Amino acid sequence: MSTTSINELPTRFGFLLLGNFTLISLSSAVEPLRMANRICGKEFYAWKAISIDGEPVHASDGLRVSVDFGIDDDASMYDLDVIIVCGGIRVEENASNALTKWLKTVNKKGIALGAICTGSYILAESGLLDGYRCSIHWENMTAVTDLFPSVAVSRSVFTIDRNRYTSSGGTTPVDMMLHLISAQCGAEVSAGVAEQFIYERIRRADDQQRVPLKHVIGHQSGKLVVAVELMEANVKELISQEDLASYVGLSRRQLQRLFRRYLMCAPSRYYLQIRLQRARELLRQTGMSLVEISALTGFVSTSHFSKSYKAFYGHSPSVERQQEFDDLRVTDQSSTSANC
């Protein structure tokens, strides 16, 4: 994620609602801003809703949402820092020359752009993500990567790259907005918003979407899916490759061939990745000691755990935890100059 000064971060949001947009993603973007205002005791953040034609828009769940402006209204861009494109199912049906022209005009006026759920598809189709990193819902990652090679699609839950603010959908806009709130108003306000929403962990930009294995390999190997599910369910007491192969009705050699064909690695390597990813979650989400985490993720010793972690992530578990602490300290310090 590229660095942006606090003064450059947006406080006035326009949400462009596309047909069949995902309502949970819109709510996940707006509600943290509302709650931050409540905690701050003033209207620090402002927002308005926009549609292509100025008419109410049907979300993918059938609910009809009213808007303030259409894109043809001059006031649609007035007093905004960023316009967030809110996508959903069949997002490509919303693409049009008129919408592309309007988004390019927004960009020329110096207004930042963003997207939630599948909205990044529209920005990419309009040429407004060329040379940028972006996040998009995992179902659309392959399509955007193939259709728009100048766009760097990330698996991150959200991505802030200069003046582009994108998140992958579902509840991930909460994390992106809490990141902005923390930078602008301080970690105490951000934590207060999370507490009000009973949001137990704020994900960071380097947290990745978990792409379902079935989406990666399709329906080509149900036995591989079962094998991975068994690995995920047994990170403390490890299953041997022989037992794993037996459980899914394969020989050890057949199991190894499946992993190499569809996941491009050996079963042991994939199993290690699962355990290290679980360890990373525990490091970030709990106060457990390294001894406890290494035991819970199937490592024979803390030194073995630390060595494996550093080889995979490029830094030790203790550095990971220190980075989490430093992030909180930086946002606490930034709050002294915040406007909230």
3-state SS string over 227-238? HHHHHHHCCCCC
| Token representation of residue 262 | 């569809």
What is the structure's pLDDT at 217?
66
What is the structure's pLDDT at 321?
84
Bridge partners for 135 per DSSP: 154
What is the structure's pLDDT at 191?
93
Helical segments of the chain, H only: 23-40, 97-108, 119-125, 141-147, 172-185, 187-196, 213-217, 222-233, 241-247, 252-263, 267-285, 290-296, 302-313, 317-334
What is the structure's pLDDT at 5?
59
What is the structure's pLDDT at 337?
47
State the distance between the two ends of the chain, measured CA to CA, in whole angstroms: 24
| Token representation of residue 59 | 């979300």
The Cα–Cα gap between 60 and 91 comes to 11
| Token representation of residue 102 | 């309007």
The Cα–Cα gap between 292 and 287 comes to 10
- Strand pairing class (133-135; 152-154): parallel
What is the structure's pLDDT at 213?
74
What is the structure's pLDDT at 339?
62
What is the structure's pLDDT at 218?
61
Element holding 69 (H helix, E strand): strand 69-70
The Cα–Cα gap between 89 and 140 comes to 10
The Cα–Cα gap between 77 and 170 comes to 26
What is the structure's pLDDT at 27?
98
pLDDT values of the chain reduced to their tens digit, one per residue, 340 residues: 555 556 689 999 999 999 999 999 999 999 999 999 999 999 999 999 999 999 999 999 999 999 999 999 989 999 999 999 999 999 999 999 999 999 999 999 999 999 999 999 999 999 999 999 999 999 898 889 889 999 999 989 999 999 999 999 899 999 999 999 999 999 999 999 999 999 988 888 888 887 777 766 665 678 888 999 899 999 999 999 999 999 999 999 999 999 988 888 899 999 999 999 899 888 887 889 999 999 999 999 999 999 999 999 889 999 888 876 555 454 445 444 456 6
Q: Are 109 and 77 in contact (CB under 8 A)?
A: yes
* Residue 186 vs residues 6, 13, 47, 84: alpha-carbon distances, Å: 11, 19, 20, 23
